[in-house]
Amino acid sequence: MADYNTMELMICTAARELEDGASVGVGTGAPCAAAMLAQKTGAPNLVIFFEAGGAAPLIPEMPISVGDSRTTYKALMASGMCEIMETACRGMLDYTFLGGAQIDMFGNLNSTRMGSDHQKPKVRFPGSGGANDFASFCWRMMVMTPQDPRRFAEKINYITTPGWLQGGDSRARSGLPLGAGPYRIITNMAVMDFEETSKRMRIIAINPGYSEKDVQDNCGFELLKASKIEENKPPTADELSILREKIDPYRYVIGR
């Protein structure tokens, strides 16, 4: 088995979810690394979009901002925020990767605050940025995050970004575009999807070296389990060398 860290495993797992010819809205860091890896492995025709306006770039190195000049390097278009989000709202963005300080069993994300006083929060985080927009519009939302019981919380302080809201058909009733929603949660320990009717988070694969108990113990709510739970495949030597040598040679992301 190749030697790798959990960040590398999460990025490789995420990259394999992106099929050739698909489109993806990404941010900086791990999501961008996953999209770049997918382009250099199974999905050379993956189209990458950045919320600030960069469309279909050939990213030379990890951007530091979703609006910096790396996001339009050899791009097919340098546009604006409405152009990108409206492309997503029309239904042309297949995937997006998001994150947050907290996630609940329906894949709702909090990146706004801790504490209950909105005007005087205990901890203030950045807020939605484009996360709520991408999660509302992109067909399949994915999250890449390390797993612990505080982050995977029974009740999150604030829903910044919609998952399946309160589960069941609540998202469909909310007014958000039909058929879009959370698809995969990729952690250092496992891969989860969402059960079709209840829309609750469900384990579908476990990473090498972890057990079902580890995954449940590091989650603040009860996880459903798929009838057959796969063992997630470790990164291949090929994936690792591309990731380390071509995508993130300075280890900005994979060194974290």
- Nearest approach in angstroms of CB 254 to another protein is 13
DSSP code, position 69: G
Cβ atoms within 10 Å of 168's Cβ, excluding its own: 14
- 45 vs 65, which CB is nearer to another protein? 65
Query: Residues 141-164, buried b or exposed e (16+ Cβ, 10 A)?
Result: bbbbbebeeebbbeebbbbbbbbb
3-class DSSP state for residue 137? helix
Q: Which of residues 14-73 bind another protein (CB under 8 A)?
A: 27-29, 51-54, 60-73
Give the residue, chosen from 92, 125, 212, 221, that forms a contact with another protein under the rule CB under 8 A: 125
Under rule CB under 8 A, residue 123 binds another protein: yes
Q: Which residue in the list 8, 17, 51, 239 is annotated as catalytic?
A: 51
Under rule CB under 8 A, residue 175 binds another protein: yes
- 62 vs 201, which CB is nearer to another protein? 62
Q: Taking contact as CB under 8 A, which single stretch among the options 41-49, 124-132, 181-189, 202-210 is the one that binds another protein?
A: 124-132
Cβ atoms within 10 Å of 229's Cβ, excluding its own: 16
Listed in sequence order, the residues at least 6 apart from 56 whose beta carbon sits closer than 8 Å to its beta carbon are 47, 48, 49, 75, 76, 77
Active site residue 61: no
Under rule CB under 8 A, residue 250 binds another protein: yes
* Cβ proximity of 254 and 7 under 8 Å: yes
Under rule CB under 8 A, residue 8 binds another protein: no
Phi/psi zone of residue 134: left (φ > 0), alpha (ψ -120 to 50 degrees), beta?
alpha
Rounded to an integer, what distance in angstroms lies between the CA atom of residue 217 and that of residue 226? Answer: 17
- 29 vs 234, which CB is nearer to another protein? 29
Active-site residues: which are they? 51
Residues making contact with another protein (CB under 8 A)? 27-29, 51-54, 60-73, 78-82, 85, 89, 108, 112, 117-133, 136-137, 158-162, 165, 170-171, 174-177, 250, 252
